[in-house]
């Protein structure tokens, strides 16, 4: 093979620098990882010295020939090793040096095998076998004295495995590692250990249906759920008796060498299984004992069958039904169940969203039957904009199906509706009569394009038509999604879907979907009381919605500009208005400062709802990790945590899911040497696009080469034609962007590379457009998106079956992000993930050497979630919003007037209707602050409330409003750090 390019600037597989060069570096260890002079295998022998084995070394060198370079034939040498019990020994120097001389015709390059004997774990000997490039750094003929494509194989030595300390010493996990690579990976096969520069790990697609389980079809469960549900329960009991019995566990303990601690752990896990079984059994009992619940469950299945049309399924997965049954108690016994947070912990792509929806539709139907004719049943919060946008259509489709069922069954109450509560320019907070702020909509000059920017449904949830337009109804002051299909099943003009914050407060849609950040708004917006309790009244003018505390422009609390109508009393008891559920998706993301701040606002919403409605909501959540969930749930919600489903006795064995023979995802770990990660990513992205374009230009030849029918070419282009390059930092993404614009990533055919960006900096409207193009790609492959650069924004909630190729620029800092990000590919079809390790980083190097375990047991590598509720710094930031929320949600409605001004608050204090000490006690109770245990926090609160009262009671020209007296409330839950202005000096 010949090359016109310097190999040192292009090739890196099996590359070894001269030892002399590495030793001259100022940081030899780090340089040795980035461009090592040796690769090796570390292992534990079963016997004592001496040790005998056979080594096989393969390598190539590049020979300068004028302006070009010629790659030598492969040098392949095998020789015996007789290792003594002393620190370091050398072997094969003459054999390897002579072989290199013979292959190149010139002396000067050399290599040798070195073996080190050191004490290993528990004092047993550990052997390190290394092949070292001993060539000089400079040579008069060989201008490049590196060795390339170096590999080492060992056989003939009996070994015992290492135990991976990063995995817990649990009966569930295989902690054994046969050998470790040094500056490389190791493949062990049939007693031979071989180094590798790319470690491949395959992950099987979960099998969600065990043998002998009932089909659980929606239609069957609507008709008569008991036969299938009873069969499922019987199968679960039988499986538990077989797997978790003392006899079975004793046999496993003996076969796998469990310690007494491991056997005791297994006994406790068996008890957890019994508890889970009893919960599911209790759910089946509630169905048989409660006619309204049974009817709700059956009608929910009818709605799910309708909502699933065109999605390729018509039945439940067993775990989904198990979760719904296990949580039916929270519908009929809400007070008892509200003290527990139920967490879904299941494989990404396993159907968690549909599981939520099944339970929620059952709950909303039951709510209507018990007399909850209006209001919010569930508020679903996602940590990221992308999550909520992707899930929105699913929720809308399910609610539409449930609404059609409700109408057919003549169940009373208002129409089921969805609200999208996001803000941050993604949706309007309000539509003003006249624009006052920069982002305000100018109604008088708005056109179709203005309103179209806020379209959030890609298709009609009732009929599936994509012919949806946005209209602003000036009479009702409402922004509507309107389906243009004349044959749509929805009989009204506007779809029951709201994207303006004030409309959500006015109409209180059945399900609110949004981002976590919006919770902070309750400290500034009195109408957010509707997310924790009852509004004040119902405007008498049809279509105007609920009313709240009056303002100067809203004399009776109606949000429609100019409305002077008085309000009717609420149409149902006040206690029914509180949401039955708060759903938190991706619970593991609520950590550090975000988690600490959210804990305070969770406490606020709980406290307000308990005060206004008599009980707290049920919290449902999903999480990517079980590590430390009990502490996290206690900090966030002051509740006990409970996980569904319980794990089986091994990672490969469970009732709800098991491994199949179908490939889900192949991971390829790559450790570049001597070249920047940017260069490797550029080459990888380019070659992947070249492969795709070869398939497009010559499908017959490519399909013949890979052994696939040519009829599948278009499918392959659709499923693998778009690659994702995932960056862990904005610096990584900026480097990739520069490579694209500068032509470093340039397909060989010279045609355009269509590129899209999905990061936190991407405008919400652009995100929606990109997702639409990915889900519904252009007919011409040349017009499609070919490459996506993405940040952690994409690691959650992007459910697109076409994304099946990812290049990851270094390991994410957290294991949870690695799991979530790589789960974006291979959701339905086999995916491939190239993980380009930043091998100079200690963590990347450590994961690389045990990459197999990292992938297979990734959830156990997830770090405990750092979070605290009792932070003085966080309390300082949250307390203004907490107290102002109490004024807006409790005291304004009680006073029947606006309490915006300090003078109004002063009057309330003087009349005795606002007692500051009682306010302090209420906030302390919300947050669970005990003056005895949390003395400093209690003192901080006492000082803050004293200052707050002084600011109100004592007149001051700069303090005119309650906000002036309290301090600025948080705008967003992420608004933790103080903001400072930055000015550009152009002098």
What's the pLDDT tens digit per position in 688-740?
A: 999 999 999 999 999 999 999 999 999 999 999 999 999 988 888 888 889 98
- Provide the 10 A C-beta neighbour count for residue 443: 16
Q: Phi then psi for 729, rounded to 5 degrees?
A: -135, 160
Query: Model confidence at 29, in pLDDT bands (50, 70, 90)?
Result: low
Distance separating alpha carbons of residues 52 and 69, to the nearest angstrom: 39
Note the pLDDT tens digit of each residue in 467-504: 999 999 999 999 999 999 999 999 999 999 999 999 99
- Please state the domain extents for the chain: 2-196, 671-861, 872-966
117-121, 209-213, 551-555, 916-920 — most confident range: 916-920
Amino acid 976: pLDDT: 55
- For strands 581-584 and 378-382, give the pairing: parallel
Indicate if the pLDDT at residue 248 is higher than 50.
Answer: yes
- For strands 658-670 and 755-758, give the pairing: unpaired
Distance separating alpha carbons of residues 668 and 683, to the nearest angstrom: 15
Are 47 and 53 in contact by the 8 Å Cβ rule? The answer is no
Q: Phi then psi for 380, rounded to 5 degrees?
A: -100, 125
Task: Provide the mean pLDDT of the chain.
Answer: 90
Query: Which of 208-222, 291-305, 719-733, 849-863 is predicted least confidently?
Result: 849-863
Amino acid 359: pLDDT: 97
Amino acid 199: pLDDT: 92
Note the pLDDT tens digit of each residue in 81-117: 999 988 889 999 999 999 999 999 889 999 999 999 9
Stated pTM of the model: 0.88
Amino acid 231: pLDDT: 96
What 3-state class would DSSP assign to 385? helix
Amino acid 462: pLDDT: 97
Amino acid 2: pLDDT: 64
Query: Which of 393-402, 850-859, 915-924 is predicted least confidently?
Result: 850-859
Amino acid 1: pLDDT: 63
Indicate if the pLDDT at residue 550 is higher than 70.
Answer: yes
Amino acid 673: pLDDT: 84
Query: Model confidence at 31, in pLDDT bands (50, 70, 90)?
Result: low
Amino acid 169: pLDDT: 62
Query: Model confidence at 986, in pLDDT bands (50, 70, 90)?
Result: very low
What 3-state class would DSSP assign to 745? coil
Query: Where does residue 727 fall: left (phi above 0), alpha (psi -120 to 50 degrees), or beta otherwise?
Result: beta
Q: What average pLDDT does the segment 264-285 reach? A: 95
Strand locations in 494-617 (E): 497-498, 511-515, 537-539, 546-547, 567-568, 581-584
What 3-state class would DSSP assign to 757? strand
Note the pLDDT tens digit of each residue in 754-766: 999 988 788 878 8
CATH number of 671-861: 3.40.50.300
Amino acid 167: pLDDT: 62
Indicate if the pLDDT at residue 928 is higher than 50.
Answer: yes
Query: Model confidence at 388, in pLDDT bands (50, 70, 90)?
Result: low
Q: Which helix (H) or strand (E) holds 326?
A: helix 318-326
Amino acid 517: pLDDT: 87
Amino acid 599: pLDDT: 95
Note the pLDDT tens digit of each residue in 343-375: 998 777 778 889 999 999 999 999 999 999 999
Question: What's the sign of the alpha-carbon dihedral 438, 442, 448, 454?
Answer: positive
Are 768 and 390 in contact by the 8 Å Cβ rule? The answer is no
Distance separating alpha carbons of residues 974 and 384, to the nearest angstrom: 11
The C-alpha torsion from 312 through 316 and 317 to 322, rounded to 10°, is: 160
Amino acid 34: pLDDT: 78
- 919 vs 458, which has greater pLDDT? 919
Q: What average pLDDT does the segment 177-189 reach? A: 91
- Provide the 10 A C-beta neighbour count for residue 348: 17
Percent of the chain exceeding pLDDT 90 equals 67
Indicate if the pLDDT at residue 556 is higher than 90.
Answer: yes
Q: What average pLDDT does the segment 423-439 reach? A: 81
Enumerate long-range contacts of 905-912, CB under 8 Å, 24 or more apart.
Answer: 905/952, 905/962, 905/965, 906/952, 906/953, 909/949, 909/952, 909/953
What are the residues whose beta carbons fall under 8 Å from the beta carbon of 375, sequence distance 6 or more? 508, 510, 530, 534, 572, 576, 577, 579
Amino acid 906: pLDDT: 95
Indicate if the pLDDT at residue 124 is higher than 50.
Answer: yes
Are 583 and 421 in contact by the 8 Å Cβ rule? The answer is no
Q: Phi then psi for 816, rounded to 5 degrees?
A: -60, -40
Query: Model confidence at 311, in pLDDT bands (50, 70, 90)?
Result: confident
Amino acid 25: pLDDT: 63
Amino acid 27: pLDDT: 52
Distance separating alpha carbons of residues 548 and 738, to the nearest angstrom: 52
Nearest Cα neighbor of 926 from 576, 701, 637 is 637
Indicate if the pLDDT at residue 979 is higher than 50.
Answer: no
Q: How far is CA 940 from CA 234, 920, 943, in A?
A: 56, 11, 5
Amino acid 350: pLDDT: 75
381 - beta bridge partners? 514, 584
- For strands 723-727 and 787-790, give the pairing: parallel
Could you please report the per-residue DSSP string of 228-268?
HHHHHHHHHHHHHHHHSSHHHHHHHHHHHT--HHHHHHHHH
Query: Model confidence at 251, in pLDDT bands (50, 70, 90)?
Result: very high
């Amino acid at each position: 093979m010949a090359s016109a390019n310097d190999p040192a600037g292009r090739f890196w597989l099996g590359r070894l620098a001269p030892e002399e060069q590495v030793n001259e570096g100022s940081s030899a260890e780090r340089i040795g990882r980035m461009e090592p002079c040796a690769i090796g295998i570390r292992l534990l022998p079963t016997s004592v010295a001496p040790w005998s084995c056979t080594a096989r070394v393969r390598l190539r060198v590049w020979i300068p020939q004028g302006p070009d370079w010629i790659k030598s034939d492969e040098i392949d040498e095998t020789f015996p090793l007789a290792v003594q019990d002393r620190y370091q020994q050398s072997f094969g120097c003459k054999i390897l040096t002579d072989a290199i001389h013979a292959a190149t015709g010139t002396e000067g390059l050399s290599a040798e095998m070195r073996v080190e004997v050191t004490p290993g774990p528990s004092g047993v000997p550990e052997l390190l076998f290394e092949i070292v490039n001993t060539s000089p750094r400079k040579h008069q003929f060989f201008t490049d004295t590196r060795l390339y494509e170096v590999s080492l194989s060992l056989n003939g030595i009996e070994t015992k495995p290492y135990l991976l300390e990063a995995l817990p010493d649990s009966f569930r996990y295989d902690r054994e590692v046969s050998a470790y690579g040094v500056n490389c990976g190791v493949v062990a096969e049939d007693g031979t250990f071989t180094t590798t520069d790319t470690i491949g790990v395959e992950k099987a697609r979960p099998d969600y249906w065990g043998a002998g389980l009932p089909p659980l079809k929606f239609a069957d469960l609507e008709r008569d759920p008991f036969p299938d549900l009873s069969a499922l329960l019987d199968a679960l009991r039988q499986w538990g008796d077989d797997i978790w019995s003392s006899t079975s566990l004793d046999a496993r303990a003996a076969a796998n060498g469990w310690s007494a601690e491991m056997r005791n752990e297994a006994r406790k896990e068996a008890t957890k299984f019994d508890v889970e079984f009893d919960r599911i059994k209790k759910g089946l009992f509630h169905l048989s004992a409660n006619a309204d619940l049974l009817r709700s469950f059956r009608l929910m299945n009818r709605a799910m069958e309708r909502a699933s049309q065109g999605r390729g399924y018509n039945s439940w997965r067993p775990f989904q039904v198990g979760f719904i049954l296990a949580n039916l108690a929270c519908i009929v016994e809400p007070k008892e169940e509200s003290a527990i947070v139920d967490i879904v912990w299941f494989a990404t792509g396993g159907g968690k969203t549909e599981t939520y929806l099944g339970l929620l539709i059952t709950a909303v139907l039951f709510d209507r039957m018990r007399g909850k004719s209006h209001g919010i049943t569930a508020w679903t919060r996602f940590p990221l904009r992308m999550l909520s946008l992707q899930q929105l259509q699913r929720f809308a489709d399910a609610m539409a199906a449930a609404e059609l069922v409700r109408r057919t069954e003549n169940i009373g109450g208002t129409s089921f509706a969805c609200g999208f509560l996001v803000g941050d320019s993604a949706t309007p907070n309000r539509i003003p009569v006249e624009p006052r702020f920069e982002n305000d909509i100018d109604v008088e000059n708005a056109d179709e394009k203005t309103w179209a920017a806020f379209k959030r449904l890609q298709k009609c949830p009732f009929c599936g038509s994509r012919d949806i337009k946005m209209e602003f109804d000036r009479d009702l002051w409402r922004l509507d999604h309107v389906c243009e299909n004349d044959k749509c099943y929805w009989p009204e003009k506007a779809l029951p879907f709201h994207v303006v914050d004030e409309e959500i407060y006015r109409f209180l849609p059945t399900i609110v979907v949004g981002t976590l950040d919006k919770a902070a708004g309750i400290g500034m917006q009195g109408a957010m009381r509707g997310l924790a309790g009852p509004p004040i009244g119902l405007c008498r003018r049809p279509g105007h919605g609920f009313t709240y505390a009056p303002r100067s422009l809203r004399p009776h609390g109606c949000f429609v500009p100019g409305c002077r109508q008085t309000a009717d009393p609420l149409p149902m008891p006040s206690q029914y208005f509180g949401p039955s559920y708060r759903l938190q998706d991706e619970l593991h993301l609520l950590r550090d400062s975000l988690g600490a701040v959210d804990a305070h606002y969770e406490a606020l919403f709980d406290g307000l709802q308990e005060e206004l409605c008599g009980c707290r909501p049920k919290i449902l959540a999903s999480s990517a990790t079980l590590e430390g969930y009990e502490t996290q749930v206690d900090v966030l919600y002051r509740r006990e945590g409970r996980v569904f489903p319980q794990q089986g006795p091994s990672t490969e064995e469970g009732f709800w899911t098991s491994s199949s023979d179908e490939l889900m995802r192949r991971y390829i770990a790559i450790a570049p040497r001597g070249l920047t990660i940017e260069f490797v990513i550029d080459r990888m992205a380019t070659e992947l696009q070249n492969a795709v374009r070869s398939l497009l230009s010559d499908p017959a030849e490519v399909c013949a080469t890979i052994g696939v029918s040519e009829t599948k070419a278009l499918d392959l282009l659709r499923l693998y034609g778009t690659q994702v390059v995932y960056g862990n930092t904005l610096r990584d993404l900026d480097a990739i962007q520069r490579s694209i614009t500068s032509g470093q990533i340039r397909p060989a055919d010279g045609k355009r590379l269509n590129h899209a960006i999905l990061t936190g900096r991407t405008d919400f409207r652009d995100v929606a457009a990109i997702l639409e193009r990915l889900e519904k790609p252009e007919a011409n492959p040349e017009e499609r998106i070919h490459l996506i650069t993405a940040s952690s924004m994409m690691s959650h909630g992007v459910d697109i079956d076409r994304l099946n190729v990812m290049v990851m620029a270094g390991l994410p800092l957290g294991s949870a992000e690695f799991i979530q990000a790589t789960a974006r590919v291979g959701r339905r079809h086999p995916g491939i993930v190239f993980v380009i390790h930043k091998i100079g980083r200690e963590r990347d190097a450590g994961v690389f050497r045990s990459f197999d375990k990292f992938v297979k047991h990734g959830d156990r590598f997830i770090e405990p979630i750092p979070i605290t509720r009792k932070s003085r710094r966080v309390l300082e930031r949250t307390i203004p919003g907490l107290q102002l929320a109490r004024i807006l949600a409790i005291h304004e409605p009680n006073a029947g007037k606006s309490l915006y001004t300090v003078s109004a608050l002063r009057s309330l204090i003087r009349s005795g209707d606002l007692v500051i000490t009682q306010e302090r006690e209420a906030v302390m109770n919300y947050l669970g602050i005990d003056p005895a245990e949390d003395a400093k926090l209690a003192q901080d609160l006492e000082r803050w409330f004293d200052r707050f009262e002084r600011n109100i009671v004592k007149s001051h020209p700069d303090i005119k409003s309650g906000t002036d007296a309290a301090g600025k409330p948080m705008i967003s839950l992420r608004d933790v750090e103080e903001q400072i202005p930055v000015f550009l000096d152009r002098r």
